[in-house]
Amino acid sequence: MKDTLVGVTRKLLPAGALKHVETVYRRSRAKVVSARYGTPAKHLRVIAVTGTNGKTTTACYINEILKEAKFTTAMFTTAVIEVAGESQLNDLNATVATTARMQQFFRDAKKAGVDYVVLEVTSHSLDQFKLEGVPIEVAVMTNLTQDHLDYHKTMDNYAAAKAKLFKLKPRFIVLNRDDEWFDYFDQFEAASQKINYGQHEAAEARIDRIQLYRKGTEADVVIDHQTHLELATALPGAFNVHNMTAATAVAYLLGVKLDDIQEGIANLEAVPGRFERAVDGLDYDVIVDYAHTPDALEKLLDTARDIAKGRVILVFGACGDRDKTKRPIMGEIAARKADRIFLTDEESYNEDPDAIRDMIREGIEKVGGATMTELPDRREAIERALGSAKKGDMVLITGMGHEQFRIINGKREPWNDTAVVREILGK
């Protein structure tokens, strides 16, 4: 009945009126659900991390720093949910939790007496007012690159959805000075202080040096031209330097001691599905990464190029019922950056998987160069990629990351890339 009423309403109302009705409904619903749980968020100090890429890892870095500083924390990301040290994988298989699920989390955090809540916040959540009435202590913007245009339609709309976080007048704002959308987000004022980070010479938390290793990264960060920090993380990749510098800037604004910042960064050993080393003890590397956007895929492949001694072998596809325009772009990136490509299915939802691969293949063939094998069966593609790997190579398996199941033709089936790798290799 509800779906029927929604469908009729959308047909009858003009677009402007429909948007107004949806906004009123969503804001009212958020308030009602919050009240049902006793408005727990108003008692919490919330750190909200948004952006296209790096949200999960940045949130995890912040969480580790705060725990090192002896704060009790709660964290909600697409990969991990944690309350007062009790952690579990997020098995929602969705970047947007329901309003009720978020309020349950806030209630649990309040009961646990946490000092800070760290949230990964999506554009969909902001656009649908799921944070209505939630006071924001710190708002972080990691970057803005193409994604979710099936929902937002344009990059301007996508940016405007992210901007709703900063219109809440958080106490502190942290922005990526290197991001091409920096000027857009820099227009918003913080209630207390705003800081930016990056490699840009004008960055207030400036990345001064980056040293990449096979199993980690080192970087020097200078804050306000005077405070020098030597940071080391177990997570490889220059993109992770930006993530840990964002977390460092947050901690600095909150008055966390420098030693605690350094130790907290070092404490984060892995993030599920984010440059996750699937197995150890091989003479080649097997990495599982969520990389589901053009920018994320390009940065992942660049990192692999920087640290792999041999070839870069890529297993990838694209999600169904999502932004179709990014598929050929990702195909072009793969063809330019990888040595060997195994094109496969990810999760098609209700879309024809052959059509998804066709769009990716268009981009691959446009560039040429890399050797490509098309195998719709994802397990077979992973098995073939592993079988082709030689000493010094790096096998990248992208798109699914931490996820514990996938949806094929509308049906849910158990799936986890890391578990599949271990099964194939008998680890």
pLDDT at 94 over 80: no
The Cα angle at residue 333 between residues 327 and 336, in degrees rounded to 5: 145
Three-class SS of the chain: CHHHHHHHHHHHCCHHHHHHHHHHHHHHHHHHHHHHCCCHHHHCCEEEEECCCCHHHHHHHHHHHHHHCCCCEEEECCCEEEECCEEEECCCCCCCCCHHHHHHHHHHHHHCCCCEEEEECCHHHHHCCCCCCCCEEEEEECCCCCCCHHHHCCHHHHHHHHHHHHCCCCCEEEEECCCCCHHHHHCCCCCCEEEEEECCCCCCEEEEEEEEECCEEEEEEEECCCEEEEEEECCCCHHHHHHHHHHHHHHHHCCCCHHHHHHHHHHCCCECCECEECCCCCCCEEEEECCCCHHHHHHHHHHHHHHCCCCEEEEECCCCCCCCCHHHHHHHHHHHHCCEEEECCCCCECCCHHHHHHHHHHHHHHHCCCEEEECCCHHHHHHHHHHHCCCCCEEEEECCCCCCEEEECCEEEECCHHHHHHHHHCC
185, pLDDT greater than 90: yes
pLDDT in tens, 221-254: 999 989 999 999 999 989 899 999 999 999 999 9
The residue with greater pLDDT, 237 or 423, is: 423
Q: Are the CB atoms for 141 and 50 separated by under 8 Å?
A: yes
C-beta separation of 179 from 153 below 8 A: no
Question: Above 60 in pLDDT, residue 52?
Answer: yes
271, 80 Cβ separation under 8 angstroms: yes
Residue 15, pLDDT score? 59
39-43, 156-160, 395-399: least confidently modelled range: 39-43
Q: By mean pLDDT, which of 51-55, 148-152, 300-304, 309-313 is the weakest?
A: 148-152
- Would you place residue 6 in the very low, low, confident or very high pLDDT band (cuts 50, 70, 90)? very low
Check residue 219 and give its pLDDT: 96
Q: Mean pLDDT throughout 247-270?
A: 97
Confidence band, pLDDT 50/70/90 cuts, at residue 265: very high
Average pLDDT over residues 346-355: 93
Backbone φ and ψ for 131, nearest 5 degrees, come out as -100, 15
> Hey, what amino acid is at 224?
D
Confidence at 2, pLDDT banded by 50, 70, 90: very low
**Residue 31 confidence (pLDDT):** 82
As a whole number, mean pLDDT of residues 92-109 equals 82
Q: What pLDDT score was predicted for residue 99?
A: 86
In the prediction, which pLDDT does 315 show?
A: 98
Domain ranges of the chain: 7-267, 276-425
Q: Residue 312: which pLDDT band, with cuts at 50, 70 and 90?
A: very high
Q: Which fold has domain 276-425?
A: Protein-Tyrosine Phosphatase; Chain A (3.90.190)
CB 249 within 8 A of CB 265: no
Alpha-carbon distance of 52 to 33, in angstroms, equals: 27
Structural contact between residues 414 and 379, judged by C-beta atoms closer than 8 angstroms: no
Give the C-alpha separation, 346 to 400, whole Å: 7
d(CA 142, CA 74): 20
Predicted confidence (pLDDT) at residue 416 exceeds the cutoff of 70: yes
Region of poorest pLDDT, from 77-86, 150-159, 196-205, 278-287: 150-159
**In the predicted structure, residue 303 carries a pLDDT above the cut 90:** yes
At 10, the pLDDT band (50, 70, 90 cuts) reads low
pLDDT digits (tens, 9 = 90+) for 103-144: 999 999 999 999 999 999 988 888 888 888 899 999 999 999
- Whole-number pLDDT of residue 1: 47
Q: From the CB of residue 154, how many other CB atoms can be counted at a distance below 10 Å?
A: 9
Q: What is the pLDDT of residue 153?
A: 86
Distances (CA, A) of 196 to 181, 217, 257: 13, 21, 19
Question: How would you classify the pairing of strands 285-289 and 276-277?
Answer: antiparallel
Indicate the CATH number of 7-267 among 3.40.1190.10, 3.30.360.10, 3.30.470.20, 3.40.50.880: 3.40.1190.10
Query: Predicted confidence band at 7 (pLDDT cuts at 50, 70, 90)?
Result: low
Mean pLDDT of the chain: 91
Model confidence at 87: pLDDT above 90: no
Q: What is the pLDDT of residue 5?
A: 47
Calculate mean pLDDT across residues 326-351: 95
